[in-house]
A and B are shown apart, each in its own frame.
Chain A
Amino acid sequence: MTDELLHIDQKIIEILKTVSDPEIPVLSIVDMGVVRAAKMNDDVVEVQITPTYSGCPAMDVIGDDIISAFNQNGLKAKVELVLSPAWTTDWITAEGRKALEKYGIASPLSADADKEALLGNKKVVKCPQCGSLNTKLVSQFGSTACKALFQCDDCLEPFDYFKCLK
């Protein structure tokens, strides 16, 4: 992630951090890893973002929110969408993962563990409510394209698991 962040002008990163994914309001777009580049060009900030999933409906809103965040700081912004390299859950920062867990979304596991979890072979997804590993897959597809639905067999709460995307 640090390497990827090199393209972001540090002077404007604080403004970008105020913009969050509308479906996961606790997670800033910087921690989410969707901001690929941001630089000041004269008085216009040029921002490149990448979608988590191709059909992610949040991208339009995120684009609008970026522009409005810079406008509030007296700056103009231009947003572009880039597809390559494709987003991966590895780009979610450690801070981002903490925020997800705190919000009640289990953060993505490694690719191998993720496969086992989504095939229902192993109990490896930790309940974000009570920390139990006694959880089960309810559906590979959850409330949004990036999540799967799980249930904890100890505290009985259903919860979202952020699917690993490599």
Chain B
Amino acid sequence: MRFFILITHRSSLITNKMNNNLIQYIFGIADNCLILGQRLGELCGHGPSLETDIALTNISLDLLGQTRSYYQYVAQLQGGDVTEDTVAFLRVENQYLNTLLVEQPNTDFGYSIARQFLFDVFHLLLLEELQNSKDENLSAIAKKSIKEVLYHKRFSSDWIKRLGDGTDESHSRIQTAINDLWIFTDELFHQTDADKAMVSQGIGVDVTLLKTKYYKEVSEILEEATLQTPQIEYFQKGGKQGIHSEHMGYILTELQYMQRTYPNMTW
């Protein structure tokens, strides 16, 4: 990237600690976009049809674009030699703070759609609040992203309905995918200490307040798709603390390959 986003000048009174919490908070949002974008990118040229292939990779592109905006901001906050590229490519696994949901594999089209749907509903709710952030940069990124995520949610909801209300085979497979991924939904509403610090400053979004609305919206669309809302009480978490599933290592191996093999290479 040669043309950087114009970042609003930050007051020098901001302490390092607050900066650090802000950076951790941004990672909690941006890493979801990066890792989901990477997962969707795997489908480039491998989608079940040309149209869905193009759609999923377009969504990937939007997410990676959003990631860049967040990481450019992080690079400004960290200063020194940090760039959006070093942030994206040179962290180790436990420094990525994405939720477990987005790192789940493209087992089949049903899983890709279910993962997208469960994330999109959350993502839009989050951005709708983040646009009111006291941090001007986060607010600007959120306002920009909302327009894109509206399309993502429309696409994934539409496919949930098509598959759910489709053939017996598509119905059973999308139901399986929803059931399997359900255990990762609760983590979307977990708060780290950095999240809480940012909420108290009016910068972060209190995700706990989005939970009821999220499950209501998801259930309504599932119902319309003739699908069952899973009644599962057990949930998995860890990604937000940097404790990931076994999939994450494989994702990073591919994502970081070029920078690790040819350090400092540029396009």
> Interface on A for B, CB 8 Å cutoff?
48-49, 51, 53-57, 59-60, 63-64, 79-88, 118-119, 138-145, 149, 163, 165-166
Contact = CB atoms under 8 A, between A and B. Distances in A.
30 contacts: A49-B3, A51-B65, A53-B65, A54-B65, A54-B66, A54-B68, A54-B145, A55-B66, A56-B65, A60-B3, A63-B2, A80-B3, A82-B6, A83-B5, A83-B69, A83-B137, A83-B143, A84-B136, A84-B143, A86-B144, A88-B147, A118-B154, A140-B154, A140-B155, A141-B155, A143-B54, A145-B58, A149-B54, A165-B147, A166-B147
Interface of B: 1-6, 51-52, 54-55, 58-59, 61-66, 68-69, 136-137, 139-141, 143-145, 147-148, 151, 154-155, 158
A54 B62 contact: yes
A86 B143 contact: yes
B75 to A, nearest CB: 14
B5 A140 contact: no
B66 A84 contact: no
Contacts of A119: 154, 158
Contacts of A83: 5, 69, 137, 140-141, 143-144
Contact of B5 (A57, A81, A141): A81
Contacts of A144: 58
B3 A57 contact: no
Contact of A141 (B4, B59, B139, B147): B59
Contact of A53 (B1, B4, B148): B148
Nearest to A62: B3
Contact of B151 (A60, A79, A81, A140): A140
The 8 closest A-B pairs by CB, nearest first: A55-B65, A54-B65, A84-B140, A139-B51, A141-B55, A55-B61, A86-B144, A141-B58
A80 B4 contact: yes
Contacts of A140: 55, 151, 154-155, 158
A29 B152 CA distance: 26
A53 to B, nearest CB: 6
B66 A64 contact: no
A60 B68 CA distance: 13
A138 B51 contact: yes
Contacts of B66: 54-55
Contacts of A48: 6
B5 A86 contact: no
